[in-house]
Amino acid sequence: MFTLKDVRAAMKQGDMPRAVEIIKTILKENPSADAWYQAARMSTDNANAQSCLRQALMLDPKHGPSLTLMRSLGGESKTFFGHLSDEIIIMIYEQSDKSLLLRRFPRQAQLAVVGVATALILIGFLVSSAMLVSSLRAAMPQPYPTVEPVKLVSVEEMLDRFSQSGLEMLDVQETTDARGARIVQFDLEGEQGKRYSVVVRVYDSVSALIAEWNASATPDPMLRVVGAPNAVLLYPVRLDISLANQLAREFRSIAGL
C-alpha cells in the first residue's frame, strides 16, 4: 500500500508521473485530508488545487495546512456544507457545459434550470411512488403487525466484548451523569504509540437517549459517532482506521446491528 512518503520520494527523484499515479491511488484507496492537501500542492491549476483543498476540508474542517493554502490561493475557508455546496455547483456547471442548450444560459440561470428540473423530477417520482404504494396496499391483505424486541447495550457486556476482541483499553474510567447515563471512557493506543480517547454513553432506555441527544448541542466535527438503541460511541476522526473499524464493528455487534 502506497503512502505519502512514496509520493515525496518520487518527487524528490524528479519522477512526477509516478508521484501523480501514487497520489491518485492513495486518494482512491485511503483518502485523507493530508492526501488531498498533497494533491493540491502538486496541482498546477488554481481551480483544481482549490477543489482538492475543499475535499481535504470536508474530511477535516480544521486541517491547518489546507486552510493556509486555500487562503493563499484566494479561496474561502468555509464549513463542511459550504465546501460541499461549492463542489455540487461546480459539478452542475461542468455538466451544463456539455449541454448545447444549457451552456447558452448565464451561470446563475443554469443553476435555476437544473434546480427546477430536479424538483419536477422529484415531485413526479414521489407522486408515482405514492400511487403505486396505495394500489399495492389495496391489492394485498393486511398482515398482522409484528414487534421486534430491541437489544439494549449494557456496560458490562460492552467492556467484556471489547476485551475479548483484542482491543487493549487503557485507563478505563466509569462515571454516571446527572441524568443517570453511565459514561465509560478509555484510551486506545494507535500507531507510533499515540493514544486516542474513546467515550461510550449508555442510557437506561431508548427514550432517554433520544431525549438527551435532541436537547444537546451539535456534535464535535472532530468525533465520529456510532449509535445503538440505548448507547452512543464517540471516537476521534484521526483514530487509526483499523482500530476505528474494529471498535465500530464490535460496538454494533453488541447491539445486534
**Cα gap 70→67, rounded to integer Å:** 5
pLDDT digits (tens, 9 = 90+) for 211-223: 777 766 566 778 8
pLDDT digits (tens, 9 = 90+) for 195-211: 999 999 888 887 777 77
For residue 55, give every residue at least 6 positions away whose Cβ sits within 8 Å of its Cβ, in sequence order, or none: 31, 36, 83, 87
Q: Map out the domains of the chain as residue ranges.
A: 31-97, 155-254
**Cα gap 4→7, rounded to integer Å:** 5
For the question of whether the overall pTM of this predicted structure is more than 0.75, the answer is: no
For residue 174, give every residue at least 6 positions away whose Cβ sits within 8 Å of its Cβ, in sequence order, or none: 155, 182, 183, 184, 185
Quick one: pLDDT at residue 48? Answer: 85
For residue 136, give every residue at least 6 positions away whose Cβ sits within 8 Å of its Cβ, in sequence order, or none: none
